[in-house]
Structure 1
Amino acid sequence: MKRTDDTASPPPAEDVRSLYPFLYSDSSDADSVLDQIRRSTVDKAREIVALRESMFARDGSRLLECAGAMARRFTGGGRLLAFGNGGSSTDAQDLASLFLSPASGPGGTPPPLPAFGLTNDIAVITALSNDIGFDVVFARQIAAFAKPLDIAVGLSTSGNSTNLLRGLDEANGRGLLTIGITGYDGGKMAELDGIDYLFVVPSPSVHRVQEAQTTLYHVLWELVVEHLAERVKP
C-alpha cells in the first residue's frame, strides 16, 4: 500500500546530516559519494589526533603523577573500582579488565591487579535502582565494600550524572584515591572538591570524547604497570 505524506519518514535531524552528509546527498555520482566519505573519515581522524595531542600536552605530567599514586595504592593492597553509565559503563568495564587481565606485550605479561566494574552485577544494579533509586547504584556499592586504600575511577562524557557524582563523593569520604574522566567542559564533576585527579577531554563531540578517553585510560594503565615494574626491580 502506498504511503501518504502523513506517514512518510521525517527528514533526518540537521546534526545527523552534518555528521554524515554523503548519506543524504542528492547526487548519484558514486565517485563523489566515495570522495565525501574519504574526506569525512580523514577529517575525523585529524580531529581525534589533534585532540589527543593537546590533551596529553596539557595533562601528561598529571597522568604520570596519578599513575604513581595508583601504583602506591596497588602496592599497599588496594583495588580499582571503575564505574559509569551507558557507553561509559562499557569503558569502565574495559578499564577494569585492563588491570585484571592484562594483555602480553614485548616485555611479557604484566601481573594482574584487582579491579572491578561496578556495573558488572546486574542483580545489584537493578535491586538498588528498584528498591532505592538509580542515583545510589555506585555510592551504595562503594559504601558496602570499598577500603581506604582502594581507587575509584568515574567515567562520564558530560560529567553531570548524579549517580557518578554521588559515587565519587562516597569514595572521597572513605579515603579512596578518586579519579574522574569526563568530557566537554567537565560538567558538575569539575565542581567537586573531592576528586584527586580530574581529566577533561575538551570536545563538544561525544564521539571524539569517548575515543580520547579510551586512549587516556589505556595510557594510565601502561604508566601504572611501568611504575610497578620499577618497584620490583632488584
Structure 2
Amino acid sequence: MTENPHPAGVQALYPFLYADARADLDSVLTQVRESTVAKAAEIVELRKVVLAREAPRLAACAAAMAARFAAGGRLYTFGNGGSSTDAAEVATTYLHPSSGRTLPALSLTNDVAVMTALSNDIGFDVVFARQLAALGRSRDIAFGLSTSGGSTNVVRAFEEANRRGMLTVGLSGYAGGKMAELDSIDYLFVIPSPSVHRIQEAQTTVYHVLWELTQQALGATDERAATAAV
C-alpha cells in the first residue's frame, strides 16, 4: 500500500487539492469557495480583535517612533523566513513610501555577505544582534518580527538593542513566545492565533497601521514647529 505523501495538516487546510480525481467539479469549486470565504472572515475578525485591543498602544508606539525619527534616528528591521520578507517590506515602506515622508530604514537581512559571514564565523543566533551592535545608536529603532515569538536571533537582537537604548518594537503570534517574556521590548504586539497564515496577515496590517500613525505624528510635529517659528 502506497503511503500518502501529504501531511494531514495540509490536507485539512486545502481538502479540495486532494479530492478524488473523479470528484464532481462543482463540488470541488464549492469547497474552494467555502474555504476562501472562511479564511477571509477569519482574518477580518482577527484584525478587528487586534486593533480594538491594541489601538492605544499602537498610537503610543507610533508617537515614540516619530520622536526617534525626528531626532535623526533610523529604523532597523529583522526576522526569519516569511518574517524576513515582512521585515524587508517594513523597511521599504518607511524608506520608499507611496505617500508621506521618506524615513531612514534598513532591513538587516539585506546584506547576504554580512549574514553568511556572521553565521559561518560566529553563529546564526547573532546575525541581527551583531549588526545592531555595529550600527545601532540610542536614537534608533529596532523592529523585529517572529510568528512564534521564539526565534533566538530575534530575541538576542532585542536584548542588544535594549542595551544600546534603542526603541524596541516587536510583532509575534500565538501567545507571544519568548518575546512576551522579555523586558527588552518596549512595544510588543501579539497576534492571538494558532495559524501562521493569519498571524502574518494580521502582522502586515499592524505594521502598516504603525507606518500611517508615525507619518501622522511626524506631520503634527512639523505643524507645531511651524507654528512656534511664526
Residue 45 (structure 1) aligned to one of 36, 40, 46: 40
SS in 1 for 2:200: helix
Q: Work out the CA distance in 1 between the residues paired with 2:174 and 2:78.
A: 19
Distance across 1 between alignment mates of 2:116 and 2:19: 44
- What does residue 174 of structure 1 align with? 164
One-letter identity of the residue aligned with 2:11:
R
Q: What residue number does 2:4 align with?
A: 10
1:189 counterpart SS class: helix
Match of 2:209 among 205, 209, 219: 219
Q: Give the structure-2-normalised TM-score.
A: 0.95
Deviation of 1:126 after TM superposition, in Å, equals 0.2
Q: Return the alpha-carbon distance in structure 2 between the equivalents of residues 72 and 54 of structure 1.
A: 28
Cross-structure match for 2:189:
199
1:111 Cα deviation (Å)?
1.9
What is the TM-score when the length of structure 1 is the normalising length? 0.93
Task: Report which stretch shifted further, 70-79 or 26-35.
Answer: 26-35
For 2:221, give the aligned amino acid: R
- Superposed CA deviations along residues 60-115 of structure 1, whole A, max 9, x for unmatched, are 11000000000000000111000000110010010000000001xxxxx3121000
Aligned to 2:61: 66
Write the letter of the residue equivalent to 2:33.
Answer: R
Secondary structure of residue in 1 paired with 2:101: coil
Structure 2 distance, partners of 1:142, 1:37, is: 45
| Match of residue 130 from structure 1 | 120
**What are the residue-to-residue correspondences of 1:26-175 with 2, within 5 Å?**
26=20, 28-103=23-98, 109-175=99-165
Partner of 1:186 in structure 2? 176
**Aligned mates of 1:111, 1:23 — CA distance in 2:** 45
Q: Confirm or deny that 1:25 pairs with 2:25.
A: no
Q: What's 1:106 paired with?
A: none
Alpha-carbon offset, residue 10 of structure 1: 2.9
CA RMSD of aligned residues (A): 1.0
Superposed CA offset, 1:31-67 (max 9, x none) = 1110110000000000000000000010011000000
Whole-angstrom CA distance in 2 between matches of 1:111 and 1:19? 41
1-structure distance, mates of 2:48, 2:101: 29
Following TM superposition, by how much is the alpha carbon of 1:9 offset from its aligned partner in structure 2, in angstroms?
6.0
Number of equivalent positions: 223
Cα distance, 1:232 vs. partner? 1.2
What is the DSSP-based 3-state SS (H/G/I as helix, E as strand, rest coil) of the residue aligned with 2:220?
helix
Question: Cα offset for 1:14?
Answer: 1.1
**Whole-Å Cα distance in 2 between the matches of residues 124 and 19 of structure 1?**
37
Gaps of 5+ in 1: 104-108
